Amino acid sequence: MEMKSRSNKRPLSCMALAVALALVPLSVPAADAGAADATIHPEFWPEVVPASKVDAAMEKKIQDLLGQLSVEEKVGQVVQGDIASITPDDVRKYRLGSIFAGGNSDPGGKYNATPAQWLALADAFYEASMDTRAGGHAIPVIFGIDAVHGQSNIVGATIFPHNIGLGATRNPELMRRIGEVTAAETRVTGMEWAFAPTVAVPQDDRWGRTYEGFSESPEIVASFAAPIVEGLQGKAGSPEFLDQRRVIVSVKHFLGDGGTTNGKDQGDTQVTEAVLRDLHGAGYPPAIAAGAQSVMASYNSFNGVKMHGNRSLLTDVLKERMHFDGFVVGDWNGHGQVPGCTNENCAKAFLAGVDVLMTPDSWKGHYNSLLAAVKSGEVPMARLDDAVSRVLRVKFRLDMFNAGKPSARVLGGKFDQLASPAHRAVARQAVRESLVLLKNNGGTLPLDPGKRLLVAGDGADNLSKQTGGWTLNWQGSGTVRADYPNADSIWDALQRQVEAAGGVAEMSVDGRYKQKPDAAIVVFGEDAYAEFQGDLPNLLYRPGDDTDLELMKRLKAEGIPVVAVFLSGRPLWVNREINASDAFVAAWLPGSEGGGIADVLLRSGDGKIAHDFKGKLSYSWPRDALQVLNNAGQADYSPQFPLGYGLTYAQSSPLAALPEISGVSGVQSVPGVYFSRGKPAPGLSLYLQHATQGHQTKASTLPAALPDDSLKATAIDHKAQEDSVRLTWSGKSPARAFFLSDKPIDVVRETNGDVMLMLALRPDAPAQGAVTLGVDCNKGCAGKQKLNEGLAKLKTGEWTTLGVPLKCLQKTGADMTRLDRPLILESDAAWQVSISRVSLGSGNEAQHVLACQ
């Protein structure tokens, strides 16, 4: 039965929506061959009654204030800048309505800034917005942040499992409590706005944001939407609604972000209107019915039409049909992808229904262009007034005009609330309930904590891996243990519980032990990632790297029972690893409470089962690495483990050996990695070339050199045998080394997202001449940057990581949509450098960042 509400029927209440959504089929194919039509029929979409009622007195205040504002002040209210590119003085001068902290934006540019520094920054922006000495009206600025699994940008905050794990709990009431904790810790540090929850319904697990979705099932997503909104905002109609312990939400990403073709982030969702509505739109009616105050537009397109420019969906469906009376915010420069737009100029997105364009570093250009568009009549004053009214409505509902500065509010500066015992208990419960037991042959689990246990694998004591992306920074990488002062790694928790029970716990990443253990727990999985960098070509786990598999096989061969704990942001093909273990646990990205894992894996001190497994798969598990469209409800549905699968300790049926044929032929590359382990990535080759004569040599094997020895490449050891290359310029003639791809590489999304080209390198000899780094597409579209100033800051003979912003290369002429040379190093004189890795990464991973020239 399709969920339809025609125009001649009464609007759906929250209860009716829940009933209707329960009848929606679990899943349908993500792409539809007949889905080219982008026409939308609003009358066939659900009509919603928001629980946040219109207040006549408040509406009069809004209109009275609106009537006093200049056009410049009105424009300021709908402009949002990132704290890395905006100052309190800018807010004071331009009367801006909102600011935000992007994934890599922090006070003072420090990813590990203290909570007090965050709060002081919030105060400074607030005070600037209320300062009218130079004219204008005092309208409090609202501060948004990606609090997507707790207030996860903040050092010391409670970090919850990512949504993929929460979906496995099947516990909507727990979502409400998680929302309450997240809201409280966000308020402690001065923000009023969480860019959450994500209600995507991911259909292709290659998508790098799969873990941000609760489930592939629209029913599960819909069941979580209202509770998490009510947890964050409070229950509409109650005294707690939007009080000083709550924040406003941004339900995201509207619409279809989880259905892009081939799982490509920011791609095209090619489905019918019915699939867009009933599957991808499942979470929005209950969220809006619960009183959601903002909705974030999505990067993706719907059948070729960019969502940031889709008036039919943003205005006709969301605002008019669903009666959403909050404001629509854009995503990071997402408006710039609308045809005919730039990051600085996009009246189309504003006219389509995006009320607040997220303009991180382009806010000033956007302010000026929107102001000009209003004055010229391109943007009607009525449209501007509508957008400003929506922003003011939310601010009045938050009582921001009477709240005072962030540090003076109820929770402002109460840093003892960050990861308080009560908050950590909620996170620990969430971890316990999220774990899914896929295999438990021979009753291997639960383990006796009084025995000798080996804990191995690179995920056991690795909080970056354990918490995943969107933790302290955008990609969740480049952090150290001290950045998580209130967290327990899985090793921390296991060691504590084992030793308390009189047992012995030994930690060894590579599994080499001092004394043979009674059992081994091997914790392994994906490294932290977020959008762009997380997209995959298939569902192979670590293609070309069998380190984890070999570790488990070795332990098994020694007669040691092996418990595998798999950390991942999606189901992956790990049949070989499952076969190599006696018990296998899908632990997802559990967050800061490793104790939740120890609680379930270990018996209590008296030998009883302390906590049983409760988690059930919220995503279907693949039978092979090419089973990327693997969703319940499909005609050809045949997963390895179906949606809803999950063993308990009461279930003892052994799992037979699984097929070990991945379905993928040939060597596979890891997205965003161009050189590692001493070799170019599959599809790339290393070349040496005379810069003036044009002669080139393909370095198929090392050593390799140009005929006149002006440039040579040799293999050297860094962390392993011949895992790096040394490039030596003799100075006889200018020469370059470059990687050539056998097909164009599109990194325009990464460029938009402030990704960097990362080089793990060691300067072995100072540059004697001009050195440049560049990219090219072999058709007059090169971009390059001078390296000498950056190299001068590096110590000769020491390994480091140098980051070069892709935007720097784009600004100097590179066409980032079709690179065939993703790295070119050129020197006109003597120079020597060793390189162990070339990849894409975020700024926090770089020890040195090259400034754009």
Alpha helical stretches, state H, 381-447:
381-397, 421-434
Closest listed residue to residue 218, CA positions, set 17, 22, 35: 22
Per-residue pLDDT, 665:
81
Average pLDDT of 322-335? Answer: 98
C-alpha distances out from residue 247 to 234, 283, 292, 474, Å:
8, 19, 10, 21
| Contact residues for 307 (Cβ-Cβ < 8 A; gap 6+) | 253, 254, 255, 256, 297, 298, 299, 300, 301, 313, 314, 334
Strand partners, 728: 712, 832
CA angle, residues 222, 225, 228, in degrees to nearest 5: 150
Q: pTM here?
A: 0.88
> Residues 267-287: pLDDT tens digits?
999 999 999 999 999 999 999
Among residues 321, 324, 368, 326, which one has the least CA distance to residue 343? 368
Two structure tokens written together for 173: 């009431």
**331 catalytic, yes or no?**
yes
| Lowest pLDDT segment from 310-319, 473-482, 489-498, 508-517 | 473-482
Roughly how many angstroms between the first and final C-alpha of the chain, as a whole number?
59
The DSSP secondary-structure symbol of 93 reads H
DSSP-derived secondary structure for 590-637: --SBTHHHHHHHBB-TTSSBSS------SSPBPSSTT--B--TT-TT-
228 touches 169 (CB < 8 A): no
* Token pair in block for residue 78: 């709908």
Give the rounded percent of residues in the chain with a pLDDT score beyond 90: 87
User: How many CB atoms sit inside 10 A of residue 606's CB?
Assistant: 7
DSSP H helical segments within 507-620, as ranges? 547-557, 575-579, 595-601
What's the pLDDT at 791?
Answer: 93
DSSP three-state, residue 325 = coil
pLDDT tens-digit profile of 79-137?
999 999 999 999 999 999 999 999 889 999 888 999 999 999 999 999 999 999 999 99
What is residue 320's predicted lDDT score, i.e. its pLDDT?
A: 98
**Residues linked to residue 510 through DSSP beta bridges, in sequence order:** none
Bridge partners of 609, per DSSP, are 603
Predicted confidence at residue 693, as pLDDT, reads 82
CB-based burial label for 554 (10 Å; 0-12, 13-18, 19+): middle
CB 296 within 8 A of CB 252: yes
For 527-559, write each residue's pLDDT tens digit. 999 988 899 999 999 988 899 999 999 999 999
What confidence tens digit (pLDDT) does each residue in 608-640 have?
999 999 999 999 999 999 999 999 999 999 999
Cα 202 to its chain centre, rounded Å, is 14
- 531 belongs to the catalytic site: yes
Which residues are CB-contacts of 386 (< 8 A; sequence separation ≥ 6)?
355
What is the torsional sign of CA 557, 558, 564, 567? negative
pLDDT of residue 845: 83
Rounded-to-integer distance, Cα 109 and Cα 746, Å: 29
Taking the C-alpha atoms of 345, 348, 354 and 356 in order, what is their torsion angle to the nearest 10 degrees? 20
The three-state secondary structure class of 131 is coil
pLDDT at 191: 99
Structure tokens belonging to residue 550: 């070999």
Report whether the peptide linkage leading into residue 308 is cis, meaning its omega lies within 30 degrees of zero. no
| Neighbour-count burial of 137, counting CB atoms closer than 10 A to its CB (0-12 exposed, 13-18 middle, 19+ buried) | middle
List domains and CATH numbers for the chain.
77-416 (3.20.20.300), 435-671 (3.40.50.1700), 674-849 (2.60.120.430)
- Among 47, 526, 531, 624, the active-site one is 531
d(CA 104, CA 473): 5
Q: Which of 641, 659, 671, 846 is nearest to 759 (CA)?
A: 846
Mean pLDDT score of the chain? 94
Residue 517 to residue 536: CA distance in whole angstroms: 37
Segment 383-432, tens digit of pLDDT: 999 999 999 999 999 999 999 999 999 999 999 999 999 999 999 999 99
Question: 268-269 and 301-302: which strand pairing?
Answer: parallel
Q: Which residues pair with 567 in a beta bridge?
A: 525, 588
Q: What is the pLDDT of residue 27?
A: 43
Catalytic residue among 205, 331, 815, 826: 331
Residue whose C-alpha is closest to residue 104's, from 145, 47, 45, 156: 145
Asked whether the beta carbons of 628 and 622 are under 8 A apart, the reply is yes
| CB 232, CB 41: distance < 8 Å | no
> What pLDDT sits at residue 695?
87
- Across the range 203-222, mean pLDDT stands at 98
Q: What integer is the mean pLDDT of 775-782?
A: 86
The pLDDT, as a whole number, for residue 829 is 95
Paired residues of 305 in beta bridges: 302
Give the count of alpha carbons within 13 A of 283, CB side only. Answer: 32
Residue 16: which pLDDT band, with cuts at 50, 70 and 90? very low
CB atoms within 10 A of CB 107: 18
Q: Are strands 583-588 and 436-440 parallel, antiparallel or unpaired?
A: antiparallel
How many angstroms separate the CA atoms of 99 and 369, rounded?
19
Asked if pLDDT for residue 141 goes beyond 90, the answer is: yes
Residue range 205-216: average pLDDT? 98
Q: Is 145 exposed, middle or buried (0-12, 13-18, 19+ CB in 10 A)?
A: buried
Q: Cα 85 vs. chain centroid, distance in angstroms? A: 21
Rounded to an integer, the average pLDDT of 771-790 is 91
The answer to whether residues 618 and 624 touch, using CB atoms and an 8 Å cutoff, is no
What are the φ/ψ torsions at residue 187 (nearest 5 degrees)? Answer: -65, -35
Residues of the chain with pLDDT > 70, as a percent, come to 95
Residue 31 has pLDDT above 80, yes or no: no
The pLDDT of residue 7:
35
Compute how many other C-beta atoms are within 10 angstroms of the C-beta atom of residue 853: 12
C-alpha span between 600 and 366 (Å, rounded): 52
CB 319 within 8 A of CB 79: no
The Cα–Cα gap between 199 and 197 comes to 6
Q: What is the pLDDT of residue 401?
A: 98
**pLDDT score of 17 more than 80:** no
Kind and range of the H or E run holding 432: helix 421-434
Among residues 462, 497, 503, the alpha carbon closest in space to that of 611 is found at: 497
Could you tell me the two tokens for 377? 């009549």
Query: What span, in angstroms and rounded, lies between the C-alpha atoms of 730 and 733?
Result: 8
Structure tokens, 327: 């404001």
